[in-house]
Amino acid sequence: MSTNDGGEAPLNDPTRAIDVDPVSDWLTANVEGAQGPFSFDFITGGHSNLTFAVTGEDGARFVLRRPPLGAVLATAHDMAREYKIISGVGKTSVPVPRALGVCEDEAVNGAPFYVMSYVDGVVLHTSEDTDASLPEGDIRSTLSEAVVKVLADLHKTNPDDVGLGELGRKEAYLDRQLKRWRTQWEKSKTRELSPMEEAYELLVEAKPEQHYTGIVHGDYRLGNMLSNPVTGSVEGVLDWELCTLGDVLADVGYLLNNWAQPGEATQDGPAGAATEAGGFWTREQMVDAYCERTGFEVSNVEYYRAFQSWRLAAIVEGVLARYLKGVMGDDSVDTDQHKVRVEGLATDALALLR
């Protein structure tokens, strides 16, 4: 594939993911207002699908998403599916980038891709990001409330009303997820890990009944949304590749795992989770606000937290396997840190279940 400067990119260079000339022709023909020539800049931070900021000759910006360069779990990298999701959610009050076009013709770029609007905002991955972008005070509390409101509004949406009723089976969510990520773990694991096996057995034994069914984002956290550092609003929710229909309380468990309190030991590396910077609502406040807005009873939330720790361990192991194969476009990643994180998540899942 060609690169922005016409040179030959190293095998692990993400610019190999964009064949500039045919993609540019497609953008001009299919995205309203797009004017070439275009520049393509890799957006770091994601560990699955590859994301590029696209800038046209007139300065207009878009975002292009495509699968990683290697073999992947098909349903997690289905561009047409992800495009359909943001198109449907875009009909609700949940803030998402506008869906602008999808290309399923692999002759254009070697893989399907889709294009969405560019949304301004800050992404808060770590406590350092929070300190740099969000001054202490009411703004962090305001953002906490916004995060809950957006999630509650998503979960209260009837998927049939926004064209997503056929996105997936609505019932038996936990059964499907446990089977799916157990299979993914077996396919991608780089070593044997007994806590993953023990946690799986306990998750099957303690599985609760599904009471609330709706759209499940699957990766709902501050690191997957664009926040307004001035108003404390959520400007856009990103990364819908794991979205499906099912037990919405799974999203609550996932959010709580990522909503770390100051000083809490987490699996997010030395910088810590974004909320460890302090000033955000507590987990208890988040749950109370969610229940008030949805009318749902969030019982057995520790199970959902355990399930999400175990599931995330399987996901991170898959990412690790792709990095080791050299298909993620970045050879600077510390794969040992990924291994430690998987082990920590599996241990966390066991602790929550016990």
Name which residue leads in pLDDT, 7 or 316.
316
Q: Which of 70, 97, 117 is at the close of a domain?
A: 117
| 293 shares a domain with 341 | yes
Phi and psi at residue 186, to the nearest 5°? -65, -35
| 320 shares a domain with 247 | yes
| 113 shares a domain with 143 | no
On the question of pLDDT at 83 being above 60, the answer is yes
| 236 shares a domain with 142 | yes
How confident is the model at residue 322, as a pLDDT?
83
How confident is the model at residue 12, as a pLDDT?
44
Phi and psi at residue 235, to the nearest 5°? -85, -25
On the question of pLDDT at 329 being above 60, the answer is no
| 136 shares a domain with 85 | no
Q: For residue 245, name the pLDDT band (cuts at 50, 70, 90).
A: very high
Q: What is the mean pLDDT of residues 192-217?
A: 96
How confident is the model at residue 27, as a pLDDT?
98
Tokens 């889709």 map to which residue? 114
The number of folded domains in the chain is: 2
List the CATH number of the domain containing 338. Answer: 3.90.1200.10
On the question of pLDDT at 61 being above 80, the answer is yes
Structure tokens at 181: 């990520």
Residue 165: Cβ within 10 Å count? 13
How confident is the model at residue 269, as a pLDDT?
54
Q: Which of 99, 117, 135 is at the close of a domain?
A: 117
* Any domain includes 110: yes
- What domain range includes position 261? 127-353
List the CATH number of the domain containing 89. Answer: 3.30.200.20
Contact by Cβ (8 Å): 153, 93: yes
Contact by Cβ (8 Å): 201, 178: no
How confident is the model at residue 1, as a pLDDT?
44
| 238 shares a domain with 151 | yes
| 149 shares a domain with 79 | no
Q: For residue 271, name the pLDDT band (cuts at 50, 70, 90).
A: low
Q: What angle do CA 252, 91, 65 make, to 5 degrees?
A: 75
Q: Which of 92, 117, 142 is at the close of a domain?
A: 117
| 162 shares a domain with 31 | no
Least confident of 141-145, 272-276, 293-297, 343-347: 272-276
